[in-house]
């Protein structure tokens, strides 16, 4: 097990990629701090992992409440420093430029960029003190390629790559690695609700000819969080089945 004696905070842990990260990180021996706003799914994920012997602390919390976030993180840090941060939480507000209002654009940018920025700002001091830390941000192929009808989401997912590269430069001298994972079309609850007229063209452009599984992204995150990835920082790893290649 590669993550014994490490404490990992995972946002959006109630389903999809976040849930898969929680499960695989638990298998690797990590102690978990899970955050999600879903009061039904998050407790189920946490209790299932606890029943298997994992140490799990979870918080049903809406990360859009940024003014209350500092208090929550203060409580978490007071218990024990966080070694690994997975910025995964997010949502989409589809729309073209002309029909996307400022409020929706700001909402998407907040959850995908402002919240990760705040979490990094609050958690990286402990990592620097220990001279060991891992920060993994979840971006998207849309953040690299852009996408018609996804102006807010694509912009935010591009911005998180910029944040990744900048924080990597700041944290590197203190032993903190910072990387971004760029998933393609992954079999998560929101994607399963996507109409076939949108999914099928993406799958047709995916070299492996299928959607990815959340676990396939989570395994990359576990690798980046481990000492095996100690010389990898400031980069993006695309997990897209070849979509975008």
Q: How many helices (H) and strands (E) does the chain have?
A: 10, 7
- Residue 207 CB neighbours (<10 A): 12
Between the alpha carbon of residue 203 and those of residues 95, 196, 210, 239, 244, the distances in Å are: 21, 10, 6, 14, 11
The one catalytic residue among 58, 142, 153, 198: 153
Whole-angstrom distance, CA of residue 207 vs CA of residue 242: 5
Is 153 among the catalytic positions? yes
| Angstrom distance (rounded) from CA 168 to CA 234 | 5
Give dist(CA 160, CA 178) in Å, integer. 11
Q: Which residues are catalytic?
A: 153
């Amino acid at each position: 097990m590669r993550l014994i004696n490490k404490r990992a905070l995972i946002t959006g842990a109630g389903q999809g990629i976040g849930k898969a990260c929680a499960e695989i990180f638990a298998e690797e021996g990590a102690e978990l701090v899970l955050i999600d706003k879903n009061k039904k799914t998050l407790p189920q994920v946490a209790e299932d992992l606890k029943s298997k012997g994992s140490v799990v602390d979870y918080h049903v919390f809406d990360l859009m409440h940024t003014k209350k976030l500092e208090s929550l993180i203060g409580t978490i840090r007071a218990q024990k420093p966080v070694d690994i941060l997975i910025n995964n939480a997010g949502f989409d507000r589809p729309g073209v430029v002309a029909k996307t209002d400022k409020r929706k654009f700001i909402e998407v940018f907040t959850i995908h960029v402002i919240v990760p920025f705040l979490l990094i700002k609050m958690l990286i001091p402990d990592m620097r003190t220990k001279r060991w830390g891992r920060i993994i941000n979840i971006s998207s192929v849309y953040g690299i390629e852009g996408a018609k009808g996804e102006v807010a989401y694509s912009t935010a997912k591009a911005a998180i790559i910029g944040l990744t590269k900048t924080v990597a430069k700041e944290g590197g001298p203190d032993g903190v690695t910072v990387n971004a994972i760029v998933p393609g079309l992954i079999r998560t609850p929101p994607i399963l609700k996507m109409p076939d007229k949108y999914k099928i063209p993406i799958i047709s452009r995916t070299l492996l000819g299928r959607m990815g599984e959340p676990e396939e992204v989570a395994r990359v995150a576990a690798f980046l969080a481990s000492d095996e990835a100690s010389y990898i920082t400031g980069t993006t790893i695309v997990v897209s089945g070849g979509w975008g290649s």
